[in-house]
Structure 1
Amino acid sequence: MGGNHTQPKFILLGITDTPWAQAPLFGLFLLIYIITLVGNVGLMVLVWVAPSLHTPMYFFLAHFSLADVCYSTIISPKMLTDLLFGNKTISWASCVTQFHLFALFATAECHLLATMAYDRHVAICHPLLYVTVVSPRACWQLVAWSYLVASLSALIYTSCTFGARAPPHRAGARAFHTCASHLVSVSVFYGALFFMYLQPASRHGSRDKVASVFYTVVSPMLNPFIYSLRNKEVKAALGKCRRRMLNHCRHQRGATHGIRESWNALGWKGH
């Protein structure tokens, strides 16, 4: 039996209703999204190709970057499309899908942060047992559980929404230096969340939009720089990759020069 069925839609409030601000915001968020992709994908590729980074810490960091790329990609393209074309509506099915995937990867990122904290805890407090406790099998299990628990949590969220004693001073300074990047990332990510959800309902307003943009768009862009710029292993791996590429280019130029010399010696003339 046929009939007219209209799919319900949601109207997105957007960041601003000012027409002249749409284009600058589009350019800004497009730049942020590109940097997010380049930074996180570059870090994942570097961890994959550099043997010196095949350690549990960088294994977790690669998955953390993957979660950043995924949940940023779930939000940013739709935001950019709305800013460019002014279409601030989203279908019910698209909204449910976007919310579910965002909840999945955002929750996975929370669990991965906890997993990375556990990894640093074992490295600092039980260094002699580190290789045994944080084994490759344990790493895969921790990551798998992070995604599994995040999937179940996202399903629940979507369903509900729509239908050691202190070390000495010197050791403490070393421990803080080891965990500094992780602490910065946790502070940035959870700071914006706390600002949004731990204030009275009467105070919710435009500042919530800024905070939501910060932890959905800006935070994924910052994470690869937070974890890599202060890290000697990442800098060393980047240096090795750069030297390898330069040596490969020199070798290619040398081979090309040798071929040209051989052609000249045989009387051939290159065009």
Structure 2
Amino acid sequence: MLAEGNQSSGATFILLGFSEYPDLQVPLFLVFLTIYTVTVLGNLGMVIIIRMNPKLHTPMYFFLSHLSFVDFCFSTVVTPKLLENLIVEDRTISFAGCIMQFFLASIFVVAETFMLAVMAYDRFVAVCNPLLYTVVMSPKLCALLVAGPYTWGIVSSLTLTYFLLALSFCGSNVINNFVCEHSVIVSVSCSDPFLSQMLCFVIAIFNEVSSLVIILTTYIIIFIMVMKMSSSGGRQKAFSTCASHLTAITIFHGTVLFLYCVPHSQNSWLIIKVGSLFYTVVIPMLNPLIYSLRNNDVKESVRKLMNHQIQFC
């Protein structure tokens, strides 16, 4: 199979993107460039602030720094090619380039899925067992909890990529999207993609269901524990602690589930494109904004850093 698939190395793909709207190419370029700039500054800024401020050297911010790193990488894999295709007429991407984009994007989207689940467990320990929080969330456990999403992301991506490479592609293949996703790659294959499609479906369902089970279980227990608190101030503080994470989870998983529900037909291509755009380009920008705007520690660190820079200047 791989011998046949290797013959596809000379094939090229054409990413149509938003080429059907020629008058909007420049405005869309400016919008996406602004979003990408905010994404890079927001996520890298979050990582730097967390690393520089000793007050933020806690498990919660340790996980948040890795979420920001994953968002930065995920956006960087997708957005530059999207921006390029908006200003150049040649929208081709090589077979190797398309497969590499899919491979890297798969790693980071799977890593983000389970990083959010890890952060839910962290909130569970913080709310339900606050006195032993630092003991339970030891540096060793935190390192293992972070290594898990990255490792599984690499394993999942390698598996899916291996079976994509086993397919054959003929000549120039038109992809009606701005990113090399699994569904659009197999749709232009010259060979039977059934095995690759089934494997992708199984892995995607496993990732989504298992991560949601972890998140829902932890938050159900958190809700029960919070409602048992006698102090209204304690309940408010507990809900405030989880608010940013719940917002990020709702946006990310809501978008993913929405894309699963959209039928892949000729009439739904625009909806799929916009949904893909939201979770690959927009969500990585939103996460640092969600956590920074609702987090007093982060806002205080930003203010101190800005004041320090002003005094230095």
Q: Same fold (TM over 0.5)?
A: yes
Q: In structure 2, how many angstroms separate the alpha carbons of the residues matched to 1:110 and 1:24? A: 31
Q: In structure 2, how many angstroms separate the alpha carbons of the residues matched to 1:244 and 1:63? A: 25
In the superposition, relative to structure 1, how do residues 129 and 12 fare at CA in structure 2: closer, same or farther (>3 Å)?
same
CA displacement at 1:245 relative to structure 2 = 3.1
Q: In structure 1, how many angstroms separate the alpha carbons of the residues matched to 2:236 and 2:49? A: 28
Q: Percent identity?
A: 45
Per-residue displacement from partner, 1:247-267 (whole Å, max 9, x unpaired)? 444xxxxxxxxxxxxxxxxxx
Q: Paired residue for 2:257?
A: 194
Q: In structure 1, how many angstroms separate the alpha carbons of the residues matched to 2:36 and 2:9? A: 33
Partner letter of residue 303 of structure 2? G
CA displacement at 1:172 relative to structure 2 = 4.5
Which among 47, 50, 61 is matched to residue 47 of structure 1? 50
Q: In structure 2, how many angstroms separate the alpha carbons of the residues matched to 1:226 and 1:59? A: 16
Q: Paired residue for 1:210?
A: 274
Q: In structure 1, how many angstroms separate the alpha carbons of the residues matched to 2:294 and 2:44? A: 18
Which structure 2 residues correspond to residues 109-258 of structure 1 after superposition, within 5 A? 109-163=112-166, 164=221, 166=224, 167-168=226-227, 170=232, 171-202=234-265, 204-249=268-313
Q: Paired residue for 2:172?
A: none
Per-residue displacement from partner, 1:12-49 (whole Å, max 9, x unpaired)? 13124121111111111111111110111111111111
CA displacement at 1:201 relative to structure 2 = 3.5
Q: Paired residue for 1:259?
A: none
In the superposition, relative to structure 1, how do residues 91 and 129 fare at CA in structure 2: closer, same or farther (>3 Å)?
same
Bigger radius of gyration: 1
CA displacement at 1:209 relative to structure 2 = 0.7
Per-residue displacement from partner, 1:203-257 (whole Å, max 9, x unpaired)? 63211111110110011111111001110111121222233334444xxxxxxxx
- Alignment RMSD, CA only? 2.0
Gaps of 5+ in 1: 250-271
Q: In structure 1, how many angstroms separate the alpha carbons of the residues matched to 2:33 and 2:62? A: 28
Q: Is the aligned partner of 1:101 residue 2:104?
A: yes
Partner letter of residue 38 of structure 1? L
Q: Is the 8 A contact 1:101 1:154 kept in 2?
A: yes
Number of residue pairs the alignment of both structures matches: 246
Which structure 2 residues correspond to residues 10-21 of structure 1 after superposition, within 5 A? 10-21=13-24
Q: Is the aligned partner of 1:34 residue 2:97?
A: no
TM-score, length basis structure 1: 0.85
CA displacement at 1:10 relative to structure 2 = 1.5
Which secondary structure does the structure 1 equivalent of 2:10 belong to? coil
Q: Is the aligned partner of 1:72 residue 2:75?
A: yes
CA displacement at 1:154 relative to structure 2 = 1.1
Q: Is the 8 A contact 1:11 1:88 kept in 2?
A: yes
CA displacement at 1:71 relative to structure 2 = 0.9
Q: Is the aligned partner of 1:25 residue 2:28?
A: yes
Partner letter of residue 285 of structure 2? M
Q: In structure 1, how many angstroms separate the alpha carbons of the residues matched to 2:89 and 2:123? A: 45
Gaps of 5+ in 2: 1-6, 167-220
TM-score, length basis structure 2: 0.74
Q: In structure 2, how many angstroms separate the alpha carbons of the residues matched to 1:172 and 1:45? A: 31
Q: In structure 2, how many angstroms separate the alpha carbons of the residues matched to 1:104 and 1:49? A: 27
Q: In structure 2, how many angstroms separate the alpha carbons of the residues matched to 1:25 and 1:248? A: 37
Q: In structure 2, how many angstroms separate the alpha carbons of the residues matched to 1:201 and 1:6? A: 27
Per-residue displacement from partner, 1:46-66 (whole Å, max 9, x unpaired)? 111111111111111111111
Which secondary structure does the structure 1 equivalent of 2:149 belong to? helix
Q: Is the 8 A contact 2:9 2:95 kept in 1?
A: no
CA displacement at 1:179 relative to structure 2 = 1.0
